[in-house]
Structure 1
Amino acid sequence: MDEVKRRHAPYTKLKAYLNEIGWTQADLAKLLNKSRYAINQNLNGTGGDFSLSEVRLICMTLGISADEFFIEPQVSKTKQENAS
C-alpha cells in the first residue's frame, strides 16, 4: 500500500469538531467559497494549507481558538513556556 504524501499534518481535531457540531466538509467549503475537494485536501494535509484569512473566518464563525485547532500543541506549549 502506498504511503499518503502529506504537505502538513491533518487537522484531525478540527474534523472531529466539525462532526460534533454537525458541519460537513461541504458546509466548510461553502463558508470559504472553495470546492469540497479543496477542503478535503486542506483537512487531510494532502493539499495546500488554509490561509490566515480562512483560519480567521473559521475561528470567528465556529467560535474556536486557532491555537487549539490549527497550531500543533507542542508549538503552542513552547510559545507559552517562552512567554513565561
Structure 2
Amino acid sequence: MAYIKNDCIRRRTPYKKIKAYLVENDISQRQVAEAIDRAPSAVNQKLNGTGGDFSLQEARILSREFGVPRSYFFEIDVPKKERNEMVSPTGTGT
C-alpha cells in the first residue's frame, strides 16, 4: 500500500529508528551504501520508505558493521489513528 506525504510517494513507513541511530552514531548513508554494496540513493530510498525494504542479509551487515539493533528492521510503526481503530472500547480488538 503506497501513500503520499509531502508530494512523495512512500511504499511504507520510513525507518525512523535506523535513521536516528545513524545520525546519533555519525554514520553516513554513503558508509551504509558501501557496506551493503548499494548506491547511496538506494539506501536513502530504503530509509525513507520510497524504495524497497532492507533484505535480511543487509540487516545482518548493518548490525554487524555498525551495531544497528536488528529489531529496528522489524518494528511495526502503526499510526495512532489505526491503533485506536484496532482496539474496541473493551480492549479486545475488532
TM-score (structure 2 length as normaliser): 0.69
Q: Which structure would you say has the larger RCO, counting Cα contacts within 8 Å and 6 or more residues apart?
A: 1
**Aligned-partner residue type, residue 73 of structure 2:** F
1:15 — aligned with what?
Answer: 19
Name which of structure 1's ranges 58-67 and 26-35 shifts more when overlaid on structure 2: 58-67
Pick from 49, 52, 55: which aligns with 1:45?
Answer: 49
User: Does the 8 A contact of 2:18 with 2:68 survive in 1?
Assistant: no
- Structure 2 residue 73 is matched with structure 1 residue 70: yes
CA offsets per residue over residues 19-66 of structure 1, 9 Å max, x none? 111111111011111101100000001011111100111111122321
**Aligned-partner residue type, residue 65 of structure 2:** T
Shift of 1:11: 0.7
1:79 — aligned with what?
Answer: none
TM-score (structure 1 length as normaliser): 0.76
Q: What residue ranges of structure 1 are gaps of 5+ in the alignment? A: 76-84
Identity %: 42
| Counterpart-to-counterpart distance in 2, 1:37 and 1:15 | 14
